[in-house]
Every structure is written in structure tokens, then in C-alpha cells.
Amino acid sequence: MKRISVVIAAVFLLSACSTTAAKLPVTLIAHDSFVISDLLVKEFEDSTGYDLKIVRAGDAGAMTSKLVLTKDAPIADAVFGIDNTFAPVARENKIIDGELKPVDYADVCFNIDTEYFNNHKLAIPADWRELAEPKYRNLTVIENPNTSSTGLAFLASTYAAFPPATAGVFPSAVTWWLAFRDNGVKVASSWEDAYYTDFSGSAGKGKYPVVLSYSSSPADELDSQGNPRTQTIRKDCFRQTEYVGVLKNTGNPQGAQALVKFMLSKNFQRSLPESMYVYPIDQSVSIPQAWLRNAAPAITTIGEHLDIAQKRDNWLGDYNWVFDIAP
């Protein structure tokens, strides 16, 4: 009997090990800026029994386009990083099962390399509209709104900032974009390229001291004394909200739902400021004061309340004409 008990126990042990080894995977597709710690991955896997796989797919616009093209045979179970500029595309193409759930928010604002401006005795603009002035020629890099959510966010802001033109005249937003183009603005394909390669105030030490980024980005650029090396033009930014959702036709909808629930949990929400430099959507989550001190939100925001779904194609048509860019 004793030997039989040992054999039975061994069978149960092997069965348990087999079950653990065969843990069902759940795949999240996210933009390139998505960050999650190993500790949080382990927490998700241990608490749900799913094995988390992450696929990174470029900026939010490029990722959304990829999901539209693969919607009948999705390459993931859930998606994170579609924002309020590209959410209408996701809804129009019915790639989400149920609703997109807000996870975080951040303000799309211009960042300034303060050392460059100090060394060149150049006044930091109080308003991004000034960046089209000759004294700021060849200083700014932005992102392509066809592929980048930050680029599209700023495009919306320009249409909110300038009144409609009269008949027979270029829309005043287009007039401003023409001046901005002629003032030497560079268009990068993604936020990562613009910020980490072209911007002089970050790791890439590029040649452009002004970049379209976020009001929270200076918190990632601290000197040895803990002071930010960059600052933000905090007037008339765009309030960007990022979402998570379950993809339609996924093979693991239960795992995707578990992942959505986890990303709305206190522990994940608490990690957002220092992992992705964004504000948690859960207002009850405390934000580190040291981070908040260097990542103040915008003073004013514009553009996010426009009908982006209806206007997007016309805006992009104007933009692509100005910059001679194929969509």
C-alpha cells in the first residue's frame, strides 16, 4: 500500500508539472514604448495562470494599421496603445471585441533642450505657434501623423488652434503648416526616432533642440542633481488617452480579458508614471511626488474634443500635400 501511495503521488506530481508546463499563452500587441517590469509580468502569470507574450509593432498608428490588415486572423489576443486619435480607426474597422478601456493619459507637448537655448541665448517660446518664426529655423523635429499618435495629436491641435479660413483661401491651419515646413521642421516616422535619435536633449544627442513629445518627458532627463535638463511648452497641448482592448477573432478571449483586468489593477496603474512616463487613469493611485515635480501636466489642452474620426482624412490630406508625403 505504501509503495502504491508513492506511485499515485508521483503520478499526481507529474500531472501537476505537466499542467504548469502547458500554461496557455496570451499575446499582447503594443507600441514600441510599452514597458512592463519582470515583476509585474510574473504577478500576472502567477495570478492568472497565463503565459504573457508581448509583440511590439511600431508607433500607435502603424500598430493600428497592422491590426486592421490582420483582423480576420489576429496576431495577438489583446492590444495596448491605441489612443484617442487612432481609436476611431479601430472602431470603424471593428477590430475590438467589446470596448476599448482607458489605461493612462499624457499631454502631447513640445520639449525644449534648455542647454542649447541657454548656450545660444535664444528665448524659449511660450507658445508652440512661435516655432514657425525664423528665429527657430531648423530647430524642431515632429512625428508623421500618418503613423504616429503624437503626430496626429498635434495635427488635431493645429486645427483647434486656428479658426476656419474663408472661402477660396487655404485653411489657416494649412497656412501655419506651410510656414512651419518652410522654417525647416523635420518629420520623423515615430516618436522613438524623433525623441531618442533626433532630439539633442535626450540619449541620442541629435541636432534638433525642440521635439514633439510629452509634458512628462523631462522626468526622464535628469542631471546628477536630479534636475531636468529639458522643459516643456505646456500651453495648448493635446490630452492623449491610451487604451487596452480584446481583439476580435482571438483564440484566447478569456486570457485577453484577464490581461485587460490586470492593466486596470492598482499595481499596474501604480507602475505607469515611472515605467512609461504617463499618468494612471485610476485617480485613486498615488503618483510619486518627485516624478510629478518634473512631469507637470499641461496648463491648457486643445484638439482632443474635435471629431477626429470625421476630420482625420481631410487633415491628413492637407498635411500630406504640405509635406509631399504619401499616406
What does each of the 327 residues of the chain score in pLDDT, given as a tens digit? Answer: 333 333 334 444 444 443 444 579 999 999 998 999 999 999 999 999 999 999 999 888 889 999 999 999 999 999 999 999 999 999 999 999 999 999 999 999 999 999 999 999 999 999 999 999 999 999 999 999 998 999 999 999 999 999 877 666 778 999 999 999 999 999 999 999 999 999 999 988 899 999 999 999 998 898 888 888 999 999 999 999 999 999 999 999 999 999 999 999 999 999 999 899 899 999 999 988 888 889 999 999 999 999 998 999 999 999 999 999 876
Question: Tell me, what CATH number does 28's domain have?
Answer: 3.40.190.10
Give the global pTM. 0.85
pLDDT at position 9 is 42
- Bridge partner residues of 228 (DSSP): 222
**Residue 203 belongs to what domain range?**
106-239+297-323
Domain assignment of residue 9, yes or no:
no
pLDDT at position 166 is 66
H or E element at residue 147:
none
Angle between the N-to-C axes of helices 253-263 and 38-48, in degrees from 0 to 180, rounded to the nearest 10: 130
Domain assignment of residue 55, yes or no:
yes
Tell me, yes or no, whether 165 and 63 share the same domain: no
Nearest to 242 by CA among 216, 211, 206, 280: 280
Q: Which residue's entry shows cell 512651419? A: 180
Tell me, yes or no, whether 165 and 134 share the same domain: yes
Tell me, yes or no, whether 95 and 126 share the same domain: no
Contact 26, 259 (CB under 8 A): yes
Tell me, yes or no, whether 85 and 233 share the same domain: no
Tell me, yes or no, whether 67 and 96 share the same domain: yes
Domain assignment of residue 145, yes or no:
yes
Extract the C-alpha cell encoding 264: 486596470
pLDDT at position 58 is 85
Give CA–CA dist 252/265, Å, rounded: 20
pLDDT at position 4 is 35
Residues 6+ apart with CB under 8 A from 46: none
Tell me, yes or no, whether 310 and 176 share the same domain: yes
